[in-house]
A and B are shown apart, each in its own frame.
Chain A
Amino acid sequence: MSKLEKNKNSRGLGFYLSIYRKILIQDLKTKMSYRADFVISTFGMILTNLSGFVTFLILFRNFPTINGWDYYHMLFLYGFSLIALTPVQCFFDNNWNLRFMVRSGDFIKYCFRPINVFFYFMSEVFDVKGLGQLAFGLGTLIYAWYHIGVAVTVGSIALLVLYIFTASLFMIAIMNFAAATAFWMEGSGNVMVIMFRFKDFAKYPASIFNSVFRFLFTFIIPIAFIAYYPSLAILAPDEEPLMTGIAPLFGLLVFYLSYHFWMRGVKRYDFTGS
């Protein structure tokens, strides 16, 4: 085991990428055998996004600005949040199955492979539906970007990519934390549903909250980092708050912590010997 353990740590990114590709192909093959499910789920996903958009339109029909944010700036936030929420949907969707596997004992199979447990578990499901959301988000973002008139330069695109990556880390981390509670308690499904619901508020500027809740949504449940702080890097580069500057590092830290929390749960699971 110790030799395996050593091997496990010395394996590089290339090894993991090739494994991910293999598992992904298997997963897609399985999905293709349920074509109706794929069609209906994709339709459902598009409908959710459309419904969010309609809510948005109705709101702005009645109220032209929200806290100094006009229609196009709000659309920018909205599109940004949809894109930033795509990775958690596509690559980390298996978190939703964690609690069932922990309870039934099926989870033990992940512990017996000579690869990283977190990686192996997450690689098993790739959620195709997330791609619809990505397309919707990109469309919205480009439309808003065009109307706001931010210059399109190599620099601004690079900044956008960096900050979308950063923003996605936060939601992944939140869901890792929420899902990993399954190792300690029953009813972790509720925790996940709630955390998932909070993301609906990521598309509004965090400046609408008072200081207590702004602190809460910055440091405790960091949904303000899913769209608000990162977007300011592009929308208001001259007056961006401190949080925007430190967002990339903070994102990595939060993700790292969530990963450790998750793995600590796995250790505990080993211990129970079930």
Chain B
Amino acid sequence: MSPKKLIALTKAGIEESLQFRLGAFVTLFANIIYLVLVYFLWKAIYASSGTDVVNGMTFEDTMIYLILATALFNFLEMYVVWDMSRNIQSGKIILDLLKPMEYKAYTFWSYSGNHVVLFFLTFIPTFIIVMFVTHGAIPMGINLVYFIVSVILALVVNFHIEMLVATLCLYTESTWGINIVKETIVLLLSGASIPLAFFPEAARKVVGMMPFRAVYDVPLNVLLGKGGADTLSGAASLWGFQAVWAVILIAASTLFWNVSVRKITVNGG
């Protein structure tokens, strides 16, 4: 597949997402109110605790972590599960399967445009606001480059988790159920709803080895220079963690997809 064709898919995705600018702005606005809620909650929590540092996290650390996790969540969010189940029910999936391109790659590159738009419309504005509000609590330097690498790896991991779960839709029509299970597990174990640093020691060790951490927790640590990510070798080991999971998930989702796609049943179309 030539890069030119892939870029064409990305461009189509960008144009499609720009059709829904209003949606993006509503999301941005709502996020701000949502973050205000998060702010007051954690402010009250830290005010009641009596100490400034809990489990190595100050109030500012926690806030930056949670705000950027939300921003990252909005930017990485995919609806592969929904789209695929809708396409199966309508029969449209047949058309996608007949395309002269592997289905998974087609889906990935179709989504890439959406990610590009959301990165600029939601992540960058949030990042800039955090940067100004915290007066430089986020280090500005080579870590930004490390962060980009980590985000791309996170994107790949996230996409293949989605793909694995979406393939289940070939077996059952319970899209809502499957999706809510996936979302709950990813949000809790990736550190998006409560920083992993607050988890009990034993739980943190287990959760630390799971792939969900590669989606939110690792990129944020790389960005904030935590967990040894302030050096190149430290960052590289975190990338390694992400890459290993990316490879495992790519293999697993490809295998699962190839086995399952033969079972596809489409009513009409």
A215 within 8 A of B: no
Cβ A59 vs Cβ B177 within 8 A: no
Where chain A touches its partner, the secondary structure class is helix
Question: Using an 8 Å CB-CB cutoff, how does the interface string of B169-186 with A read, 1 for contact, 0 for none?
Answer: 000111011111100110
Majority SS at the chain B contact face: helix
CA distance A187 to B45 in the complex (A): 35
Contacts of A139 on B, CB cut-off 8 Å?
Answer: none
Residues on the A chain within 8 Å of B55, using CB: 62
Q: A62 is contacted by which of B30, B54, B181, B188 (Cβ under 8 Å)?
A: B54
Please tell me if the beta carbons of A44 and B198 are within 8 angstroms of each other in the complex.
no
- Give Cα A208 to B188, complex, Å: 24
CB distance from B212 to the nearest CB of A (A): 12
Q: Is B266 an interface residue (CB 8 A)?
A: no
> How many of B's residues come within 8 Å of A, CB to CB?
39
Contact across chains for B188 and A210 when beta carbons are under 8 A apart = no
Choose one: A43, A63, A187; the contact of B181 (CB below 8 Å): A43
| A201–B199 alpha-carbon span in the complex (Å) | 21
The answer to whether B48 touches A34, judged by C-beta atoms less than 8 angstroms apart, is no
A54 surroundings in chain B (CB, below 8 A): 188
Task: Kindly list chain A residues whose C-beta atoms are within 8 Å of the C-beta of B95.
Answer: none
Known: A41-B180, A204-B41. 17 other contacts (CB 8 A): A36-B174, A37-B177, A41-B176, A44-B178, A44-B180, A45-B180, A54-B188, A55-B188, A62-B49, A66-B44, A66-B48, A67-B48, A185-B22, A197-B30, A204-B44, A208-B44, A210-B40
The residues of A with any CB-CB pair to B shorter than 8 Å are 34, 36-37, 39-45, 47-48, 51, 54-55, 58-59, 61-68, 185-187, 190-191, 194, 197-198, 201, 204, 208-210, 213
Tell me the B residues contacting A by CB distance below 8 Å: 20, 22-23, 26-27, 30, 33-34, 36-37, 40-41, 43-49, 54-55, 172-174, 176-181, 184-185, 187-188, 193-194, 198-200
